[in-house]
Chain A
Amino acid sequence: MIGEDILYLSVQELGKLLQARKLSPVELTEATLARLEHLGPKLGAVATLTRERALEEARSAEREIAAGKSRGPLHGIPYGAKDLLATRGIPTTWGAPAFKNQLFDYDATVVRKLRDAGAILVAKLSMIELAGGGGYNSGHASLQGASRCPYNLDHWAGGSSSGPGAAVPSALVAFAIGSETFGSIITPAAYSGASGLRPTYGRVSRHGAMALSWTMDKLGPMCRSAIDCGLVLNAIAGEDPRDATSRKEPYFWWPPNDEMQARSRAGKRLGILRPDFSTAEGDPEVGAAFDEAVRVLRSLGARVEETDLPDFPYNPVATLLYTGEAASIFRPFIESPRLDELLDETQRAGLRSALDLKASDYLDAFRLRTQIAAAMGELFNSYDALVAPSRTSPAPRLDQKFDAAAREREKQGQPPENRKPAPKSQLIAASNIAGLPALSVPCGFTKEKNLPIAIQFVADALREDVCIECAHAFQLATDWHKRRPALG
């Protein structure tokens, strides 16, 4: 019988056991399916279990490995896919009631590539409806209900890749595929304690993924370690004739041979973006954990220097870009009565409003994008990576709307807080606008509520290797990513 200790192994460790035939892909898949059935509902992580397909793929992996054929480090490893990836004959709901019976007759390229690499699809994982393209006000905005932070079930798992966030740190799957337009991998990785890699725009084909924003959508791995993210990215990266934006540059990251080599790759120039935690911009506990993480990076040989981002309206640019594109993509849906089937009223209003965005304003945002991409590129003349807290506060409670504090101020007759966030607090927006890669890993937990805190590494375009190597070295020196949630 396969126990929790096996299910919590990394992709790399599982792969070694499978290749050595010390572990059976069928037994591993059956144990994973049992855990998904047992804990999936508690965590709100699962949209659809793909039992039949999983067992068929597992039997095939078992036969091939027994015959001495290896498809690489993912061969026989169970994984989950965010429910916006098309999977042949299995519902793909996009997290929205209006699409709950949607079926595709093909697999998304990323799913096909993982099948070719021998990975086993065990579940479609839950997500915020339509990836939250209209803006949403609660973690409950999903056909599958709220996904919960595995370390504290009263708190949200983050979104919009909520199911992957909840499932990975609780070992419901060995890894998952999420998507990010504007924070949807980094945020659930941070709130749930996963390691999440958002690749460079175009690095991974988007064919078969729900389009929210043609110019900002990215697909990437969510795992329990940075090194696993690197291994999964090896399998899913690459040009695809079915996605005109996919990059031609070949990608392969060689994992370090040993700890010494890994540590030797840590001596990088890091630009630190530290928000002012003495203001309302963040939680002081996050600030303390971040400072300690920077100290660890310095002790590993990194050359660390505080820096800032150039002054641009990053959040407005990112939001106008993706909402403008979402309005065009979903116009027939937004103009139909089916819009009312969306669970989140804020998202309904946001999508209606997006239809009235002027083309000239959308294009101005795109022109600012030119300047932002150039300015971000300049920073990488001085630094190998930018480092910041992934989120400046831990996961919010699920029984409160996101705008609860603002509404409370309103009720008390206080003026709305119109404080513009400092540029250095807008790294998620800045790096998504510029299409840069980022990796978020846990760097602590809050004392009272046991909520994960995370640090992100952002590198120049096509330099996922830099993000992975910084984060991997950090994880060699810390064990935050190895903590297991108490789920019973």
Chain B
Amino acid sequence: MTKLSRRDFSRRASLAAAAAPFLLHLPAPPQDAPSHTDELQKRADSQRNQLVSAIRAKPLPLDLEPAFLFAAKPREKKRQPTKKLNGQ
């Protein structure tokens, strides 16, 4: 770490103090107003519900299965370690 002399320290401190009022006036990073965020969330939920309604409007036969196939598979057999025979 650099060692500061008392003189350097007071010079830097006064510069920082002089800059502080400007720093305070820097605009805050943009944040969504809560009401705007709520509005967006409502809109997203409403869109999801519309999609769901479109699906539910389509009558599905009882015997219609989903288009994926679950396959039961036997456990993978571990290979038996090969035995080393003496003298071979």
Contacts and interface: CB of A to CB of B under 8 A. Distances in A.
Interface in A308-356: 312-313, 315-317, 319-320, 323, 345-346, 348-350, 352-354, 356
Interface in B43-61: 43-45, 47-48, 50-52, 54-58, 60
Interface stretch (A174-182, A367-375, A461-469): A367-375
A135 interface: yes
B41 A215 contact: no
A368 B60 contact: yes
Nearest to B60: A367
A313 B58 contact: yes
Interface stretch (A67-75, A226-234, A254-262, A358-366): A358-366
A353 B48 contact: yes
A117 B3 CA distance: 57
B55 A370 contact: no
Interface stretch (B7-15, B19-27, B64-72): B64-72
Contact of A367 (B45, B52, B64): B64
B35 to A, nearest CB: 13
A31 B57 CA distance: 57
A129 B47 CA distance: 21
Given A366-B66, A367-B66, A352 B52 contact: no
A34 interface: no
Given A345-B32, A352-B41, A366 B68 contact: yes
Interface centre among B44, B56, B66 (most CB of A within 10 A): B44
Contacts, number: 75
A128 to B, nearest CB: 17
A369 B68 CA distance: 9
B40 interface: yes
B48 A354 contact: yes
Contacts of B58: 312-313, 364, 368
B51 A316 contact: yes
Contacts of B50: 316
A17 interface: no
Contacts of A357: 48, 52
B66 A320 contact: no
Given A370-B64, A370-B65, A370-B67, A349 B40 contact: yes
Interface residues of B, number: 24
A349 B41 contact: yes
Contact of A320 (B40, B44, B52): B52
Q: Among the interface residues A313, A320, A349, which one has the most CB atoms of the partner chain B within 10 A?
A: A349
Contacts of B32: 345
A363 B55 CA distance: 10
A367 to B, nearest CB: 5
Contact of A361 (B40, B52, B64): B52
Interface string A197-233: 0000000000000000001000000000000000000
B65 A313 contact: no
Contacts of A356: 45, 48
A454 B49 CA distance: 33
Interface of A: 135, 215, 312-313, 315-317, 319-320, 323, 345-346, 348-350, 352-354, 356-358, 361, 363-371, 373
19 contacts: A215-B68, A313-B54, A313-B58, A315-B51, A320-B51, A345-B36, A348-B40, A353-B41, A353-B44, A354-B48, A357-B52, A361-B52, A364-B58, A367-B60, A367-B65, A370-B64, A370-B67, A371-B64, A373-B67
Interface of B: 32, 36-37, 40-41, 43-45, 47-48, 50-52, 54-58, 60, 64-68
Given A349-B43, A370-B67, 11 more contacts: A135-B44, A316-B50, A323-B48, A345-B37, A352-B41, A356-B48, A364-B60, A365-B55, A367-B67, A368-B55, A370-B65
Which 3 A-B residue pairings sit nearest by Cβ, starting from the closest? A366-B66, A349-B44, A316-B54
